[in-house]
């Protein structure tokens, strides 16, 4: 099953580019930019990655992002992630970035978006990986700050397909951002949001009803509400699930307790994603493998995660058909 999983075409829909900052690059950028970091080696950084919940991760994650200063830094970060994508047979990726993490430190919005975008364009040309960019609002900040960020994004509509919502879910429910999401929709952005990761299932319902979200990031706590589960099945609302992230942040104690395969078999449009792979111990292939190790599945079931992600992605119908054919051909050839 390992070689089947490695070679399977994959589509990633939940990846924070700041969460792909490997300790080695963190060190290199700290040196290049003369930024002090409280670690002596990449191994020391890795040893500090012991999390007990979402907040304990976020504190370290925002600190790590401090080494990102220049456009070239954002380019290098994104390019390193795309090389990982290539190795993992990721053919399309939709990545999040958190402008406020950088603008709050005095880095210009343009610096961030242009560096990421330049690498994505290079990835399209040199690696054959297509991509979309989604800007997330930090939900621990107020809605006013989100509005400022939305206004900064208007000059970059050609590079940003949608807006999302991340950071501390507890205490920062979707209703706090209803107005700015309505404005984003009016400006033509698609919307997504993290919901039902640590927070209650009603955050998922409100994300759909108040934020106009076309997919839900994480969403694993939907199982607490049977009516919601039925709605997610009927409407085929995609959930971008992140198995290794959920394990590291103690959303589930053990991969055997994870509900993703149950949700797949119930007919939900669930997908597998890496979230913050430099912090959670694995990119796409590792996430697929971890799920398959804990939950025996057929090859068709494993491939279904890719087929679901293709349907859930923000690409054209023609492109969805092309990637679906590619995935079905891979499955057929592998089984022949
Ligand atoms: N949840 C919320 N905010 C985040 C995450 C996450 O998993 N990763 C990066 N920011
Ligand atoms: Zn996330």
* pLDDT at position 256: 98
- For the chain, give the percent of residues with pLDDT over 90: 99
Q: In a mutational test of the pocket of ligand 1, which residue from 97, 99, 168, 194 has the highest number of ligand atoms less than 8 Å from its CB?
A: 194
- Look at strands 90-97 and 270-272 and give their pairing: unpaired
**C-beta of residue 97 within 8 angstroms of C-beta of residue 120:** no
275 is in an annotated binding site: yes
CA gap 184, 147 in Å, rounded: 9
Q: What pLDDT score does 175 carry? A: 98
pLDDT at res. 229: 98
Instruction: Check pocket membership of 275 for ligand 1, CB cut-off 6 A.
Output: yes
DSSP secondary structure, 124-171, as one string: IIII--EEEEEEEEETTS-HHHHHHHHHHHGGGTTT--EEEEES--TT
Whether 260 and 243 have beta carbons less than 8 Å apart is answered as yes
Reduce the DSSP state of residue 197 to 3 states and report it. Answer: coil
- Position 223 scores a pLDDT of 98
Check the annotation: does 92 bind a ligand: no
Q: Which residues, in sequence order, are bridge partners of residue 195?
A: 218
What pLDDT, on a 0 to 100 scale, did the predictor assign at position 178? 98
* Per-residue confidence band for 145, with pLDDT thresholds at 50, 70 and 90: very high
Distance from the CA of 167 to the center of ligand 1, in angstroms?
Answer: 5
Q: Closest Cα to atom 3, ligand 1: which residue?
A: 167
SS3 (DSSP) at 316: coil
Given a cut of 80, whether residue 141 has pLDDT beyond it is yes
pLDDT tens for each residue of 64-80: 999 999 999 999 999 99
User: Helices (H) and strands (E) in the chain — how many of each?
Assistant: 17, 8
Q: Max alpha carbon distance in the chain (Å)?
A: 57
Residue with structure tokens 């970035």? 97
pLDDT at 36: 93
Q: Residue 213: what pLDDT?
A: 98
Is the separation of the CB atoms in 270 and 72 below 8 Å?
no
**Average pLDDT over every residue of 183-189:** 98
Give the residues across from 133 on adjacent strands. 95
pLDDT at 116 over 80: yes
To the question of pTM greater than 0.85 for the whole model, the response is yes
Number of Cβ within 10 Å of residue 265's Cβ equals 13
Q: Give me the CATH number covering residue 108.
A: 3.20.20.140
**Closest by alpha carbon to 131, among 82, 74, 80?**
82
User: Phi/psi at 212 (nearest 5 deg)?
Assistant: 65, 25
CA distance 13 to 89: 14
* Protein residues within 5 Å, CB atom, of ion ligand 2: 275
- Per-residue pLDDT at 103: 98
The Cα 17–Cα 146 span in angstroms is: 19
Residue 168 · residue 141 · CB < 8 Å: no
Structure confidence at residue 56 as a pLDDT band (50, 70, 90): very high
Report strand pairing: 90-97 vs 10-16: parallel
What is the tens place of the pLDDT at every residue in 8-30? 999 999 999 999 999 999 999 99
Write the pLDDT tens digit of every residue in 210-241. 999 999 999 999 999 999 999 999 999 999 99
The token pair that represents 170 in the structure block: 């507890």
Q: Is the pLDDT of residue 97 over 90?
A: yes
- pLDDT > 80? residue 1: no
Residue 31 pLDDT class (50, 70, 90 cuts)? very high
| pLDDT over 80 (residue 264) | yes
Query: What is the mean pLDDT of the segment spanning 301-330?
Result: 98
Ligand 1 contacts CB of residue 88 (under 6 A): no
For 173-239, the DSSP string reads: -GGGGHHHHHHHHHTT-EEEEEESSSS-THHHHHHHHHH--SEEEE-GGGGG-HHHHHHHHHHT--E
Q: What angle, rounded to 10 degrees, do the helices at 202-211 and 178-186 form?
A: 40
Is residue 149 very low, low, confident or very high in pLDDT (cuts 50, 70, 90)? very high
Catalytic residue ranges:
197
Domain that holds residue 278: 2-335
Q: What is the mean pLDDT of residues 265-281?
A: 98
pLDDT at 108 over 80: yes
Q: What is the mean pLDDT of residues 96-108?
A: 98
State the total domains in the chain. Answer: 1
């Amino acid at each position: 099953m390992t070689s089947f999983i490695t070679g399977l075409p994959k589509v990633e829909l939940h990846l924070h580019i700041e969460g792909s900052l490997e300790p080695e690059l963190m060190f290199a950028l700290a040196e290049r930019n003369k930024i002090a970091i409280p670690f002596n080696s990449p191994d020391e950084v890795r040893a500090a990655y012991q999390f007990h919940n979402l907040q304990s991760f976020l504190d370290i994650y925002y600190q790590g992002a401090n080494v990102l200063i220049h456009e070239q830094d954002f380019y290098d970060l994104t390019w390193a992630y795309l090389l990982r994508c290539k190795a993992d047979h990721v053919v399309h990726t939709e990545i999040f970035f958190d402008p406020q993490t950088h603008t709050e430190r005095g880095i210009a919005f343009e610096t961030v978006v242009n560096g990421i975008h330049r690498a994505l364009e290079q990835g399209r040309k040199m690696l054959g990986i297509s991509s979309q960019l989604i800007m997330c609002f930090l939900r621990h900040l107020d809605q006013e700050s989100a509005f400022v960020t939305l206004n900064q994004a208007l000059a970059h509509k050609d590079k940003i397909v949608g807006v999302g919502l991340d950071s501390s879910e507890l205490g920062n429910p979707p209703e706090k951002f209803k107005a700015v999401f309505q404005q984003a929709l009016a400006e033509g952005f698609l919307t997504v949001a993290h919901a039902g990761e640590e927070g209650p299932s009603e955050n998922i319902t409100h994300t759909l009803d108040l934020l106009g979200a076309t997919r839900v990031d994480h969403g694993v706590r939907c199982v607490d509400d049977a009516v919601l589960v039925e709605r997610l099945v009927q409407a085929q609302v995609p959930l971008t699930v992140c198995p290794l992230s959920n394990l590291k942040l103690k959303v589930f104690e053990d991969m055997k307790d994870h509900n993703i395969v149950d949700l797949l078999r119930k007919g939900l449009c669930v997908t597998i994603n890496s979230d913050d792979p430099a912090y959670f111990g694995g990119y796409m292939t590792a996430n697929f493998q971890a799920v398959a190790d804990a939950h025996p599945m057929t090859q068709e079931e494993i491939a279904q995660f890719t087929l679901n992600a293709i349907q859930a992605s923000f690409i054209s119908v023609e492109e969805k058909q092309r990637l679906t054919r590619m995935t079905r051909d891979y499955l057929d050839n592998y089984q022949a």
